[in-house]
């Protein structure tokens, strides 16, 4: 594989939510890493205050409590600056359609415009380039590639893990290419 087939400029996105439905549940944290030439050059990260109370289950999973978000901005007040941060970048994420649906829904709900950015899912990449792994959860892939998982299920940490995972997949493909030349 040629490293050039992979994106070198993109934005990694991750959100934390109060549940699984963009129609019923809310975004409580949104983070992104802007990458240029494979290097992180900027970041966006904020908690957001939901209208509803964060359940004990979600607090236990994410570490985000009602106390933490009580003075945070509402999602409506940060969405346009987040969309500006994304610009026209391809959005990279782990199971990215989940995050994309929430962001798209909220942008349509509050501003009448959604997202139309291209997306690249690291779950799909991992399945393609690492087909024999028992699990494709972000934490499982991180452990497989020896990526630190401390702080997992917080949006910025998950962005960092996804960034490292994406780079590990690129490295693995590059190593496979080098090995194919040795074997042939």
Which amino acids are annotated catalytic?
153
Q: Are 79 and 111 in contact (CB under 8 A)?
A: yes
Exposure string for 8-22, b = 16+ CB within 10 A, e = fewer: eebbbbbbbbbeeeb
Question: What is the spatial order of strands in the sheet that 27-36 belongs to?
Answer: 39-47, 27-36, 10-17, 91-93, 119-121
Phi, psi of 62 (to 5 degrees): -95, -25
Residue 157 CA from chain centroid, whole number: 9
């Amino acid at each position: 594989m040629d490293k050039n087939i992979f994106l070198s400029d993109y934005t990694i996105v991750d959100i934390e939510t109060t549940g699984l439905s963009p129609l019923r549940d809310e975004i409580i944290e949104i983070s992104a890493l802007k990458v240029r030439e494979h290097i992180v050059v900027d970041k966006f990260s904020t908690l957001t205050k939901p209208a509803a109370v964060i359940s004990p289950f979600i607090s236990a999973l994410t570490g985000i409590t009602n106390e933490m978000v009580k003075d945070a901005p509402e999602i409506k007040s940060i969405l346009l600056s987040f969309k500006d941060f994304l610009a026209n970048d391809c959005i990279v994420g782990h199971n990215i359609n989940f995050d994309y649906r929430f962001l798209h829904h909220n942008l349509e709900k509050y501003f009448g415009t959604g997202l139309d950015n291209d997306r690249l899912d690291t779950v799909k990449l991992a399945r393609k380039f690492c087909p024999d792994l028992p699990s494709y959860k972000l934490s499982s892939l991180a452990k497989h590639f020896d990526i630190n998982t401390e702080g997992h299920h917080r949006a910025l940490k998950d962005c960092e893990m996804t960034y490292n995972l994406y780079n590990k997949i690129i490295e693995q493909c590059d190593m496979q290419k080098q090995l194919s030349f040795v074997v042939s």
